[in-house]
Amino acid sequence: MALGASRGGPVAVEDGGGAARSPTGALVTAPASTRTPSQPPLLAAASACGMWERSPALTLAREATMSVHEKTYGDEAVLSLLGQVYKAEISGVNRYLHYSFMIMGHNRIPIQKWFRDNAQEAMIHAITVGEKLTALGGHPPLIAAQLEEGHVHTVQQLLQESLAFEEQAIQLYKQLVTAATALGDIALEEMARDFVRMEVEHADEVRKMIRRPDAL
C-alpha cells in the first residue's frame, strides 16, 4: 500500500487488498459485506475513512457509481415520488405480514403463504426503489406509509384491503413513469413500467380471488 498526493489532499493507492489509508496514515479496510458489485474495494475503503470530500479523483470515482448525468438526478419531484413509493412498499411488508399472522381456519396454510410471499415481494420492491433513490441523490425515508387497522380479519376483508393498497401503488408507479419520461430517464422509466405491470397483474389476481365462482 502506498499513499500518494493530489491537490485535493492524500489519495489512497490500492494494493489489491481493498484497503486505503486515511490522511493520518491509519489503514482502513472496508468489510467485504459493505461492498457492492459496482463499488471496487478501494472506493469502499476510502468511503469508510471519509476521503470522498478530500480527493477529487475519488469523488469522480464515486460519481461513476451514481446517475449524476441523468436529468432526474436531484430532481425534487422525482425524489419525492420515489420516497412515496418506498414508504408504500415498506408499509406493504408490514401489511402483508400482519395479514399472514391473522389468517385462521382450515384454509390457513395456502392463504398465509400467499400473504407472506407478498410481504417478501414488497421488500424486494422497496430495496430496488431505495437503491434507485440513492443513485439519484435522494435519501430513503425512515418511516413507512401509515396503515389503518380495521380489526376485521376475514379473508374477504383482507383481500379487499389488499386490492385498495395495490391500486394506490399502481397510481404512484404511473406517476413515476410520467415523471421519468418527461426527463428522459429511460432506466427509471423502464423500472417504473415494470413495476406497473407487476402491480396490475397482482391487482387482477386479487380481483379474481375476491370474485365468486358463479359470478363469471
Within a domain: residue 95? Answer: yes
Query: What pLDDT is stored for residue 141 in this prediction?
Result: 92
Query: What pLDDT is stored for residue 174 in this prediction?
Result: 97
Whether residue 211 is found in the same domain as residue 129? yes
Within a domain: residue 70? Answer: no
Whether residue 175 is found in the same domain as residue 120? yes
In this prediction, residues 193-214 reach a mean pLDDT of: 93
Whether residue 122 is found in the same domain as residue 143? yes
Query: What pLDDT is stored for residue 5 in this prediction?
Result: 45
Whether residue 55 is found in the same domain as residue 161? no
In this prediction, residues 58-77 reach a mean pLDDT of: 68
Query: What pLDDT is stored for residue 215 in this prediction?
Result: 65
Last residue of a domain, one of 63, 92, 116: 63
Whether residue 56 is found in the same domain as residue 86? no
Over its C-alpha atoms, the chain yields an Rg (Å, rounded) of 23
Tally of domains in the chain: 2
Query: What pLDDT is stored for residue 77 in this prediction?
Result: 94
Q: How far apart are CA 214 and CA 201, in angstroms?
A: 22
Domain residue limits at 41:
2-63
Query: What pLDDT is stored for residue 64 in this prediction?
Result: 47
Q: Which amino acid is at 2?
A: A
Q: How far apart are CA 1 and CA 45, in angstroms?
A: 13
213 pLDDT band, cuts 50/70/90, is confident
Q: C-alpha cell of 53?
A: 470530500
- Residue 69: CB partners within 8 Å, gap ≥ 6? none
